[in-house]
Amino acid sequence: MATARSESGNGGVLGLVRPEILSLPGYVAIEPPRVLAQRLGIPLETVAKLDANENPYGPAPKALAALDRFRDYHIYPDPDERELRQALARHLNLPVECIVASAGSDELIQIFASMFLGPGDNAIDLIPTFGMYAFEADVAGGGTLPVQRRADFSVDVGAVAERLDARTKLIFVTSPNNPTGNLLSREELEGLLGFGLPVMVDEAYIEFAGVPSAAPRVLEQPNLIVLRTFSKWAGLAGLRVGYAAMAAELAEVAFRIRQPYSVNVAAEVAAVASLEDAAVLDERAALVVQERERLNALLAGVPFLRPHPSHTNFILCDVLRGDARQLRDRLREHGVFIRHFDTPLLRDCIRISVGLPRHTEQLIEALQNVAAALGLA
């Protein structure tokens, strides 16, 4: 047996890995501020980290207090996350059987890709959008059919219809969309649901949008799946806790194939306490929205940038003059970190997260200094 394995293929053990996995480039994630500061040799407190859409206000007071009081970190989590799911059921006004919790909404994307996509299957991916959808579809053994959004980033349902084929099993869509910041309209959602395929609506940024969630509709739409997260609104990005609402029959399957003990005990404690402190988190979300509007107005005054309207905690900007990647790199020299996507549709864009007012001031000053150095002013 050992001899047979050692001789399989010309790549040794790597020859046994699925070829499509070996060819995947991997998802490019954002590094923590301490690493960024050390790399540039600058004090940590001077970093304006505006590249990952994190909540600048951090966790809710009740979440921090609950983490401090909790003592059973040596005990495995409840595999069914009963306390968290019951709290979410009250929060969403949905039956607990319709809710699945996870180690971040990214894990749920992986679960749904595995549920619906096998070799040769595909999912609709409405680009530009969150890169994790295509990544997880590929890892699951399927793939994606990219459908480009309109110039205003709205969804072209007719173009989706033209791309569907017999192997299309899932539709990924984000509202508000990342990285463009625009909402999915009710008409667009109805059009997508009308195809009869599972439609996974990622609402990671819904608390900043000023519109209600689509989650209550899972009771009437058996093909609707709504993803939510505690990373943005609740400031728990580092604890990795997300959840999804869907028809109970789909939730039962998702539970069956996910990892046991998916949500760690710290994440569950903090998430439950966050829901108890929802009023504070809503007030902070309102502050983020207020700062977003101020930042958008200031960016509109930068002659080489064109900010897009946003319903999230970030703003996508077209870079009208100069090189977007170079602009990102030069801003780093001033301790300001923003996001650039090296993809055809976004190569001339940057995405800026909304931080505290002082981060906005640091960003605008850095943009002025970089513009002068690069001759963009």
* Average pLDDT estimate for 248-268: 95
Convert the pLDDT of each residue in 324-361 to its tens digit.
Answer: 999 999 999 999 999 999 899 999 999 999 999 999 99
Q: Provide mean pLDDT across the span 89-93.
A: 97
Q: How many Å is the maximal CA-CA distance in the chain?
A: 69
pLDDT: which is higher, 5 or 131: 131
| 3: pLDDT strictly greater than 50 | no
Residue with tokens 């991916």: 125
Structural domains in the chain? 31-57+280-374 (3.90.1150.10), 68-276 (3.40.640.10)
Around Cβ 120, how many Cβ atoms within 10 Å?
10
Instruction: Please give the pLDDT value at position 147.
Output: 98
Cα first-last separation, the chain: 68
Say if residue 7's pLDDT is above 60.
no
pLDDT of 5 > 70? The answer is no
**Rounded CA gap, 247 and 39, in Å?**
47
Res 132: pLDDT: 95
Indicate yes or no: pTM above 0.75: yes
Q: Are 87 and 62 in contact (CB under 8 A)?
A: no
**Mean confidence (pLDDT) of the chain:** 94
Q: What is the mean pLDDT of residues 120-125?
A: 97
| Region 148-165 average pLDDT | 97
Say whether pLDDT at 6 is over 60.
no
Query: pLDDT at residue 200 above 60?
Result: yes
The pLDDT value recorded for residue 20 is 80
Residue 10, pLDDT score: 59
pLDDT grade for 42, boundaries at 50, 70 and 90: confident
pLDDT at residue 191 tops 80: yes
| Site of tokens 């002068």 | 372
Length of the chain: 377
The pLDDT tens digits of the residues spanning 274-293 come to: 999 999 999 999 999 999 99
* DSSP secondary structure letter of residue 94: S
**Mean pLDDT for the stretch of residues 24-45:** 79
Over residues 6-26, the mean pLDDT reads 74
| DSSP per-residue string spanning 114-166 | HHH--TT-EEEEEESS-THHHHHHHHTT-EEEEEE--TTS---HHHHHHH--T
